[in-house]
Structure 1
Amino acid sequence: MSTTQGSKTWAGNFFEDFTVGQVIEHATPRTVTEGDRALYGALYPTRFALPSSAAFAASVGLDQHPVEELIGFHIAFGKTVPDISLNAVANLGYAELRFHRPVVPGDTLATRSEVIGLKENSNGKSGVVYVRSTATDQRGDVALDWARWVMVHKRDHAAAAPETVLPELAPAVAAADLIVPDGLDFSSYDFAAAGEPHRLGDYAVGEKIDHVDGVTLSDAEHMMATRLWQNTAKVHFNTEARPDGNRLIYGGHIISMARALSFNGLANAQLIAAINAGAHTSPAFAGDTVYAWSEVLDSAETAAPGVGALRLRLVATRGRDTSMTLRNEDGKYAEGVLLDLDYWALVPR
């Protein structure tokens, strides 16, 4: 554990402070409010009917009006930052993320993490920390859980490297393991209210969808968003935290922006059930204009009435890429790709 010498302040963990098997109970549980819903809508151009309309949510069988799944994710993720990634170079990716139940205003989320892997980088100045985090509500029920890996600075570059441990992570959450919210019923789905007529069967594997619209990023908005989730990572706020003097935009801000932009073409992808994998492939900064496109990877039916699942690749780009190219011939991500997110969404069938 790292503290500032001679004081009671907290400097955050550095790479050499982590050990495989270490369990961290993160401070400051956070209660979700309607204010989170309102601010989320102000920050991102989201228009999905289910989190926007209590009446729509009730019409598809949900007793309470949930907030967007990514609000729960950002809050739960933010709890981990002071202990896991306060001294991060960058958050690198996600895997095995499942939403166990909708988060509603009044829920209080608390998060704990277990270190499941470590690998020092060849430069000896930083290393990658793998953690599995679980967010529970005020009843102790799991709201969501996920794995992520983050590159963290070393405090002492001469500190011995730990034994390398790389966790085995599933390439995707199986369709059979998706959790459908209790009572969800799309059999009387209101397509007019949702904004588009497209059902599960209207999407073909391999189909790509250009979401058309773009949003130019600003420092004020991304810092407000990141503060909203109580994410304290220095690189998002402090121009002295990076050699280039730029504030790095929180990767979750890009995820939410791309998800909101995906409404145009995927308006009926009402609920995110799982995130299979995610990679922040390039840094984003104020002044960048973000666009998004999606590729259909798979589809499945669920046992819930009228409910299907689409597996989608959501790609955020700096500038619009009408060719929708993910990787170059050499296998590397194409220039301008900011985010590669593989997720399952619940849609009407």
Structure 2
Amino acid sequence: MALACAGLSSTQLQAAVEDENTSQAFIDKVCQDTRKRAAEATVWQCTDARELDFAFFTPFPRPRMLLHQAMPVIWLTQLALWPTLLSKFLQMIRCVPMREDLLQETKSVQRLALHPDVKCWKEDHFALVAVAFTGLSLWCVGVPLLLFIQIWKLKDRQDANNYRRYGFFIRGLEPRYWYWDILVKRADTCLMLLVANTSIADDNNAKLLLFPLISGLMLAINNWYKPYSNGQAQILDYIEFILLLTRFVLFSSVSALLIFFPGEEAVSVVGGLLLGMLGASAFYAGLQTLAQALRSSAGLSSEQHHFHGKEDTCSFMLRSWNCAQ
């Protein structure tokens, strides 16, 4: 029992108990530490999240230290804004062909989609091009690449301090695929936005064919590598497979409908099936999320009960020691 409370080896425990001068103080210290851990477990379970201290910041830090301590928040904010910034920068260089009737012929001219009065790659467009390429280089490419380098340089990515700072980006992934969310998922989003917000494919039918092609490619890559943690019967890989499959079927079905123009009844049937598929996928993902939350809550309750059990054991040992005296 004492071994469970103290966390010491049998030799260390025997030496502490046999010394009459320190035995009482030793038992008091063990019981006090156990009560403290039980109280911390109770506070962690019951305290509002807004009151928790995640040890990111120290009181009154210097500007340089404050910047260093705020880096986890900065990384998270930048990557949360990443898809929006990428879309806005790409729209600054999105050009569409427009026909102009000249005196003797009709000519197609590339103009900016947001401002058709601006001709693409002309003097009026150069300022937007400079802003777009600067933003794409610094934010859309530089931020994920810099974060990748920062995590790659870590000697132990599972260290408590490193995991607290970068765990949001690597949690739930296999150790060898820690970069999946930073690089692969960003590349997936980037390809979809490039097709949607640039003139890589001027024809709308070509865009419709590229969307399911990219979706099918990502589905195959994810199913081949299976980058997520293998815990709980590979549930994360299975959920990711379901969601990517849903995206692939959705884009493929919509592309087929817009290209072949079937009858109204066929469109209604396909639309109903797609709606049911989306609802079933969302329900399954939400159900698994709820199950995981309940499982984590049960684990915290079990840990708290374990701490209280240790406290009762130490209290019994203390009373027995006093009686023996």
TM category (shorter chain) comes to under 0.3
TM-score (norm 1): 0.22
The answer to which structure has the higher strand fraction is 1
TM-score (norm 2): 0.23
